[in-house]
């Protein structure tokens, strides 16, 4: 799961170089992972049934991989605003994958 967060370091650079975004816009683009992570964590933290939690944690890497794949497939030089939006959506999905697993993995690590 932490591999997805490493991608976030380079999003502003890619946004500036590939999509010709301003530094501020490229920085906001990288916030997509954090937004997805937060939304995923909020929705996942309230799960109570152990069986549902285990399935959620098992699905999380798949969700993350889908998001990273969408982001990777939409990175082109001189990217259009539609491609940048798809890239941002991929980052949100990837962040959600991390977020839905994180509260349970951290609780399991501490127990």
Q: What is the pLDDT of residue 8?
A: 78
Q: For 27-56, how does the pLDDT look when each residue is reduced to its tens digit (9 = 90+)? A: 998 899 999 999 999 999 999 999 999 999
Three-state SS at 96:
helix
Supply the pLDDT for residue 2: 67
Name 19's Cβ contacts closer than 8 Å, sequence gap at least 6.
26, 78, 79, 83, 84, 87
CB 62 within 8 A of CB 86: no
Give the dihedral sign, CA 85/23/10/57.
Answer: negative
Q: Distance between terminal CA atoms of the chain?
A: 20
> With a cut of 70, which residues of the chain have pLDDT below it?
1-4
**Do residues 84 and 21 make contact, with C-beta atoms less than 8 angstroms apart?**
yes
**pLDDT reported for residue 1:** 64
Q: What pLDDT score was predicted for residue 10?
A: 87
Residue 63: the pLDDT is 96
CA 97, CA 90: separation in Å to the nearest integer? 11
- Domain locations in the chain as residue ranges: 2-110
């Amino acid at each position: 799961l932490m591999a997805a967060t490493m991608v976030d370091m380079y999003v502003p650079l890619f946004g500036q170089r590939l999509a010709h975004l301003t530094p501020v816009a490229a920085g906001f683009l990288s916030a997509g992972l954090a937004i997805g992570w937060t939304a995923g964590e909020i929705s996942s933290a309230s799960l109570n049934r152990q069986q549902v939690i285990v399935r959620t944690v098992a699905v999380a890497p798949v969700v993350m991989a889908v998001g990273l794949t969408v982001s990777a497939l939409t990175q082109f030089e001189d990217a259009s605003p539609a491609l940048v939006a798809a890239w941002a959506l991929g980052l949100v999905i990837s962040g959600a994958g991390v977020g839905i697993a994180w509260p349970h993995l951290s609780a399991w690590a501490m127990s």
